[in-house]
């Protein structure tokens, strides 16, 4: 959630691996599947070995946890899934997909999910409890240079403690490494070419795979597309833009919902009220962060407006029980983001950028930029963000919602335009994601099952 064109030594070495094929550490694996059922769903699981550091393919290894739901009918091979995050484990989304994806897709594919490196059961990153506790006390949305410097000091201490506890994997959870893992999964599952569905962050993973292995793709669906050509500043700036669009859409329907606490107010008055709730929670930084996160979560759900009504009504009345601080510092999310999205700004630069963003986006502007830990990450990030062309690939299908608050429609347009063979499906509406909520199903199923992509000029999805 995402460009500084810098080639690092790791990137150059890793790029060389494409030419030599699968490294010895991953070759010749035999998978042993064991049952890991979920109630009535019959699932099985296995582990796949990959290098810790793809620039040293014969070095230390980790195991990736992989989960599978076998095709109900004749299998066309594996459809690998990534639900986003970053930092989301694979099994919960597999359970969702095996119940909610279209029946022809469930019948025709082995649905396969996995915990990406550093996540879940795949060499998970971890932090000392005392380091987590100290970091949670820092203000996640500093209002002054002094508060920003304090946040940086806390971030730096926390990152060093987490890095020491997690070990070498901490520096290698970037998405380029995960894309190389994805190709290992493809190979050991016995698929000559990759079929893949990725949502949100999973689109960044898919695009990085397409960048590395464009001719190894059979089908690729990227839902709620994230721009692969952004550094951390650009990404966070767009996040504020998207969330305020989503907030405006939520507020525009207030007079039609009896439970909305902003009924009868103008849009400007309503935005001021929401900004005031965020600012009032600043007295308790953990609560402020939780309030902002919950607001973003409900805005991302196409049916989330009633829940957001309840949340704002409670907080407005002084009931903060719904926004008690989250004890999870989510180190995997931060590590992946910060390795992927370079950020080398000083504290003063970040506060200047926050002030400029706040003038443009007064509700979310003060919240999303100022507290980022990414400049304190080792080397300020290791990735080389850039547009992806995927020269020589089959058609790649991208889904983008015009009112998606967490993945801007412009991101999908840009990614599709840069791809040599990108096919954009537009969903007109709010909410984060399309296929998972039932939109675009005929078009996506026709592509996955029959290889018929949308037209090059793009199309609007069926609701």
Give the tens place of pLDDT for each residue, 30-59.
Answer: 999 999 987 889 999 999 999 999 999 999
Q: Residues 380-404: what's their mean pLDDT?
A: 94
- Let me know if 144 is exposed, middle or buried by CB neighbors in 10 A (0-12, 13-18, 19+): exposed
Q: pLDDT at position 408, please?
A: 97
Residue 463 pLDDT grade (very low, low, confident, very high; cuts 50, 70, 90)? low
Question: What is the SS3 assignment for 344-383?
Answer: CCCHHHHHHHHHHHHHHCCCCHHHHCCCCCHHHCHHHCCC
Start-end of H helices in 47-102: 91-100
Q: What is the DSSP string of 424-450?
A: EEEEEEESS-SGGGTTTHHHHHHHHHH
Q: What average pLDDT does the structure give for the chain?
A: 91
Instruction: Give the SS3 label for residue 67.
Output: strand
Strand order in the sheet with 110-114: 34-35, 44-51, 61-69, 110-114, 78-82, 194-199, 217-223, 396-403, 422-430, 459-460
Q: Does the pLDDT of residue 351 top 50, yes or no?
A: yes
Q: How far is CA 75 from CA 31, 34, 70, 99, 105, in A?
A: 18, 19, 8, 17, 10
Among residues 448, 437, 396, 403, the alpha carbon closest in space to that of 203 is found at 396
pLDDT digits (tens, 9 = 90+) for 418-448: 999 999 999 999 999 999 989 999 999 999 9
Dist CA 340 CA 232 (whole Å): 8
Question: Taking a C-beta distance cutoff of 8 angstroms, is the pair 224, 278 a contact?
Answer: no
Beta strands in 162-210 (DSSP E): 194-199
State the virtual CA torsion across 285, 291, 297, 298 in degrees, nearest 10.
-170
Instruction: Give the SS3 label for residue 184.
Output: helix
Q: pLDDT at position 358, please?
A: 96
- Of residues 226 and 20, more confidently modeled: 226
Residue 27 pLDDT grade (very low, low, confident, very high; cuts 50, 70, 90)? low
- Of residues 462 and 393, more confidently modeled: 393
Residue 60 pLDDT grade (very low, low, confident, very high; cuts 50, 70, 90)? very high
Q: Does the pLDDT of residue 390 top 90, yes or no?
A: yes
- In angstroms, what is the C-alpha Rg of the chain? 22
pLDDT digits (tens, 9 = 90+) for 274-286: 999 999 988 887 8
Q: pLDDT at position 2, please?
A: 29
Which uninterrupted H or E stretch holds 46? strand 44-51
Residue 25 pLDDT grade (very low, low, confident, very high; cuts 50, 70, 90)? low
Q: Is the peptide bond before 108 cis (omega within 30 degrees of 0)?
A: no
Q: Does the pLDDT of residue 18 top 60, yes or no?
A: no
What are the structure tokens assigned to 3, written together? 């460009």
pLDDT digits (tens, 9 = 90+) for 306-346: 999 999 999 999 998 889 887 788 999 999 999 999 999 99
User: Half-sphere exposure of 443 toward its Cβ, with a 13 Å CA cutoff?
Assistant: 27
Q: pLDDT at position 3, please?
A: 26
Dist CA 229 CA 384 (whole Å): 9
Q: What are phi and psi of 46, to 5 degrees?
A: -155, 180
pLDDT digits (tens, 9 = 90+) for 135-190: 999 999 999 999 999 999 999 999 999 999 999 999 999 999 999 999 999 999 99
How far is CA 178 from its chain centroid? 13
How far is CA 394 from its chain centroid? 24
Dist CA 354 CA 369 (whole Å): 6
Q: How far is CA 194 from CA 170, 337, 345, 346, in A?
A: 27, 25, 38, 41
Residue whose token pair is 């094929």: 21
Q: What single DSSP character describes residue 122?
A: B
């Amino acid at each position: 959630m995402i460009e500084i064109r810098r080639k690092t030594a790791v990137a150059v070495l890793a790029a060389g691996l494409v030419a030599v094929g699968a490294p010895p550490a991953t070759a010749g694996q035999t998978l042993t599947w064991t049952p890991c059922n979920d109630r009535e769903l019959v699932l099985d699981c296995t582990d796949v070995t990959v290098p810790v550091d793809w620039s040293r393919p014969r070095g230390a290894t980790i195991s990736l946890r992989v989960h599978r739901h076998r095709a109900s009918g004749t299998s066309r091979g594996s459809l690998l899934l990534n639900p986003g995050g970053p930092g989301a484990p694979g099994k919960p989304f597999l359970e969702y997909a095996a119940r909610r994806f279209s029946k022809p897709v469930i019948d025709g594919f082995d649905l396969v999910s996995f915990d990406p490196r550093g996540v879940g059961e795949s060499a998970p990153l971890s932090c000392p409890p005392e380091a987590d506790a100290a970091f949670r006390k820092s203000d996640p949305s500093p209002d002054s240079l002094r508060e920003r410097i304090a946040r940086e000091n806390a971030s730096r201490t926390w990152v060093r403690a987490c890095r020491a506890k997690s070990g070498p994997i901490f520096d290698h959870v970037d998405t380029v490494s995960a894309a190389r893992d994805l190709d290992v999964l493809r190979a050991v599952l016995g698929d000559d070419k990759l079929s893949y569905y990725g949502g949100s962050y999973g689109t960044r993973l898919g695009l990085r795979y397409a960048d590395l292995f464009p001719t190894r793709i059979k089908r690729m669906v990227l839902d709620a597309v994230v721009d692969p050509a952004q550094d951390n500043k650009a990404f966070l700036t767009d996040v504020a833009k998207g969330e305020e669009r989503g907030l405006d859409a939520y507020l525009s329907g207030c007079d039609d919902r009896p439970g909305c606490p902003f009924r009868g107010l103008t849009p400007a008055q309503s935005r001021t009220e929401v900004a005031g709730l965020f600012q009032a929670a600043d007295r308790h930084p953990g609560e402020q962060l939780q309030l902002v996160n919950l607001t973003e979560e409900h805005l991302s759900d196409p049916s989330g407006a009633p829940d957001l009504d309840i949340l704002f009504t409670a907080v407005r009345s002084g009931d903060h029980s719904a926004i008690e601080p989250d004890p999870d510092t989510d180190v995997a999310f931060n590590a992946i983001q910060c390795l992927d999205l370079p950020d080398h700004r000083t504290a003063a630069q970040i506060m200047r950028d926050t002030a400029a963003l706040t003038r443009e986006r007064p509700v979310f502007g003060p919240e999303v930029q100022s507290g980022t830990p990414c400049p304190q990450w080792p080397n300020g990030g290791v990735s080389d963000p850039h547009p992806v062309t995927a020269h020589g690939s089959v058609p790649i299908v991208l889904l983008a919602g015009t009112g998606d608050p967490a993945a801007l429609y412009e991101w999908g347009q840009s990614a599709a335009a840069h791809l040599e063979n990108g096919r954009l499906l537009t969903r007109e509406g709010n909410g984060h994601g399309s296929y998972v909520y039932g939109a675009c199903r005929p078009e996506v199923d026709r592509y996955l099952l029959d290889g018929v992509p949308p037209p090059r000029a793009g199309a609007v999805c069926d609701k």
